[in-house]
Structure 1
C-alpha cells in the first residue's frame, strides 16, 4: 500500500482552476482563455482522462492553495514504468491540460446541466432536438 501511495505522489496534478476560462492567470489558469473551458470539475476531468486512456485518481479532500474554497484535484499518470507514454499524443502536462479542456465541454454530464431548469421533469431524455421553451 505504501509503495502505491508513494507512486501516486509522483503523478501529475491537475486542479480544475488550471482549465477554467473564468479565472485569470493570477488566479491560477494555466492555458489560454480561448482553449480553456468554463468551470470544469474533478469528475469531468477524470472522465476525460479515462477517455484518453490515461490512469487518474481524484482527490476530493485537497484544495487549490490560491483559492482554498475550490475543492478537489486530479492526479494523472502520464508514463508507464518502462518510460513510454500511456497516450503517445500526450507527452507533457501542458498537452494533457489542452486535450482535457477540449473534451470537457462535450462531457455528457455537462450537456444535461446546460438545459434550462424551467422545463418539467416529465420531459426526460426523449426530448426532441428542437430548441425553444415549452408553452403551457
Structure 2
C-alpha cells in the first residue's frame, strides 16, 4: 500500500487556479485566458480527468502556494510506468489543462452555479464600492 501512496506523490499536480479565467498569469493562470474557464473547482477538474480516463486523486486539504485561501488540488497520472501515455491525445500537463478547461463549462453540476454566480458577483462589488468613503 505504501508503494501506491509513494507513486501518487510523484504525479503532476493541477490547481484550479491554473485554468481559472478570472486569474492573471501573475496570480498563477497557466493557459490562455480565452481558453480558460471561470472559477473551476477540484471536483469539476476531477470529473473531467475521469471523463478523459486519466487516473486522478483530489487532495482537498492542500492549498495553492501563492494563495493559501485557494484550497484543493488534483493529482493526475499522465504516463504509465513504461512511459506510454494513458490517453494518447494528452501528452503534457498543458494539453491536459486545455482539455479540462474545455470540459469544465459543460460539467453537469455547472449549470446551477452559473445562474447563481451573476447575482452573487454583483452583490459584493456594490458593497465594496459603498464601503470605501473618503475621510
Both proteins in one fold, TM over 0.5: yes
Runs of 5+ unmatched residues, structure 2: 118-135
Give how far 1:80 is off.
1.3
Shift of 1:112: 2.4
User: Matched residue of 2:105: which SS?
Assistant: helix
Aligned position for 2:93? 93
Q: Structure 2 CA distance, aligned partners of 1:61 and 1:116?
A: 26
Matched, 1:31 2:58: no
What's the TM-score, normalizing by structure 1? 0.83
- Give 1:115 deviation, angstroms: 3.0
Number of residues paired by the alignment?
117
CA distance in 2, matches of 1:12, 1:116: 32
- 1:10 and 2:17 correspond: no
Q: 1:106 is matched with which residue?
A: 106
Structure 1 position 110, deviation (Å): 0.2
Gaps of 5+ in 1: 118-136
Q: List structure 1 runs of 4+ shifted beyond 6 angstroms.
A: none
> SS at the partner of 1:58?
strand
Deviation at 1:113, TM superposition (A): 2.0
With the length of structure 2 as denominator, give the TM-score of the two structures. Answer: 0.83
What is the RMSD computed on CA atoms of the aligned residues? 1.2
Greater fraction of residues in helix:
2
User: What are the equivalent positions in structure 2 for 1:1-136 lying under 5 Å apart?
Assistant: 1-116=1-116
CA distance in 2, matches of 1:97, 1:55: 15
Shift of 1:3: 0.9
